Structure 1
Amino acid sequence: MCIAIPGKMTAIVDENTATIDMGGICRDVNMALMGGAKETMIGKHFLVHVGYAISEISEEESEETMRLLKIMAGLEEIDSLESESQ
C-alpha cells in the first residue's frame, strides 16, 4: 500500500526543492511535479509521496488527513472521530 503524507510548505531550498512540515517533521521535498518551488507556494499544503510533492490540497484536507493518519497510528484517540460525526 502506498500513502501520501500531507504537509505545509515552510521554506524554499532551491528552484526544485522546498521544506515541507508534515505534522512537526520537516523534510526537504522535490517540487518538480508541481512546476518547481515558488515563493507563492509558501504556506500552501501538499501531499508528499516518497520525497515528491504530488498534489496541492486545501488546508482543511491536509489537517483532516493528518488527523486520520494519527488515529490509524494510535497517536490520537478515535473518540475525536466519533464526536465530530455527531
Structure 2
Amino acid sequence: MCLALPARIVEMRKQDIGIVDLGGVRKEVSLALVDDLQVDDYVIVHVGYALSKLDPEEAERTLRIFAEMESMPGNVGVGA
C-alpha cells in the first residue's frame, strides 16, 4: 500500500530541497519532481519526495479527514 500525505511547504532550501509541515511535524523533502513551488504551497509527499502540488482547499479537507479518523474510537493513529 502507498500512502502519500498532503504537507505545507514552510521553507525552501538549496538544491530542490524544502521543509514541509504535516500536523506539526517538519521534514526535509525533495522538491525536484514538481515545478514552480513556493512557501505555503501544499504538496503530496511520499517517502521524502513531493510528487505533486495540491490545491489548498483539497489539502485542508484531506488533513481534516485524517484528523477525524485519528480521533475515532479504537484507532491507533495514521502513523502507527
TM-score (norm 1): 0.74
Structure 1 residue 76, shift from structure 2 partner: 6.2
Contact in 2 for aligned 1:13/1:28 (Cα 8 Å): no
Contact in 1 for aligned 2:33/2:49 (Cα 8 Å): yes
Contact in 2 for aligned 1:67/1:76 (Cα 8 Å): no
Residue 33 (structure 1) aligns with: 33
Which ranges of 4 or more aligned residues in structure 1 deviate by more than 4 Å? none
Structure 1 residue 71, shift from structure 2 partner: 2.4
Residue 11 (structure 1) aligns with: 11
More helix per residue: 1 or 2?
A: 1
TM-score (norm 2): 0.79
Residue 24 (structure 1) aligns with: 24
Residue 71 (structure 1) aligns with: 68
5+ unaligned residues in a row in structure 2: which ranges? 74-80
Contact in 1 for aligned 2:20/2:29 (Cα 8 Å): yes
Corresponding letter in the other structure for 1:19: I
Corresponding letter in the other structure for 2:17: T
Percent pairwise identity: 32
Whole-angstrom distance in 2 between the partners of 1:19 and 1:44:
11
Whole-angstrom distance in 1 between the partners of 2:33 and 2:2:
18
The yes-or-no answer on 1:62 pairing with 2:67 is no
RMSD value, Cα? 1.9
Whole-angstrom distance in 2 between the partners of 1:76 and 1:63:
19
Aligned ranges 1:42-61 → 2 under 5 Å: 42-61=39-58
